[in-house]
Structure 1
Amino acid sequence: MKLNEDLIKKLAKQYTPSSMIDMEFRGNDLSFKTDDEGNAILLFIGERTADGNVRGERYARTLKYDRDGNRIKDHWELKGKAT
């Protein structure tokens, strides 16, 4: 499953730093972890189970910056199944 542009835009927002955020997006349950700056870096998308975990797919985000602090790379990569 490829991430669509609307979801990528939603994940590009700043959130509470160093936290795990749960939400729903277009019928899918989302859980994502943020880094120290509030950027989403780890995403679980699928269906939430009774214990609160998301069963579906796991994505990781690569963020790279140059020496001036400008973002030069922002890429989501499918890492496999989330159970």
Structure 2
Amino acid sequence: MKIGEKLLKQLSKKYEPSKMVAATFGRYDVAFKTDDEGNPILLFIGQADEHGMIKGDHFSRRLVKDANGAVVKDHWDYKGKV
């Protein structure tokens, strides 16, 4: 599974730092964890059960910055099924 352009646009926004954010995207339930700066770094997408646990796919973000804080590399890696 690939992350689409619309979802990438939503994931490029800043959110509350160091939190797990749950939302819906189209017909999918999504949950993502943010880093200390509010950037999403872990993504779970699929269908949530009655306890809020998502069964679907897991992605991890590689976000590399230089000494000045400018983003050098921004890439989402597929980590498998959850």
Within a 5 Å distance, the mapping from 1:37-76 to structure 2 comes to 37-76=37-76
Unaligned stretches of 5+ residues in structure 1:
none
Tell me the SS of whatever aligns to 1:33: strand
1:66 & 1:15 partners in 2: Cα distance?
22
User: Who is 1:10 aligned against?
Assistant: 10
**Structure 1 residues 36-70: Cα deviation after superposition (integer angstroms, max 9, x where no partner):** 00000000000001111100000000000011111
1:75 & 1:19 partners in 2: Cα distance?
20
- How large is the Cα RMSD of the aligned pairs? 0.5
The code of the aligned residue for 1:14 comes to K
* Count of residues paired in the alignment: 82
**Stretches (4+) displaced over 4 A:** none
1:68 & 1:36 partners in 2: Cα distance?
17
What TM-score, normalized to structure 2? Answer: 0.98
2:31 & 2:69 partners in 1: Cα distance?
27
1:5 Cα deviation from its structure 2 partner: 0.6
Percent identity, aligned pairs only? 49
1:41 & 1:10 partners in 2: Cα distance?
13
The code of the aligned residue for 2:6 comes to D
Unaligned stretches of 5+ residues in structure 2:
none
User: Who is 1:35 aligned against?
Assistant: 35
What TM-score, normalized to structure 1? Answer: 0.97
User: Who is 2:25 aligned against?
Assistant: 25
1:22 & 1:76 partners in 2: Cα distance?
18
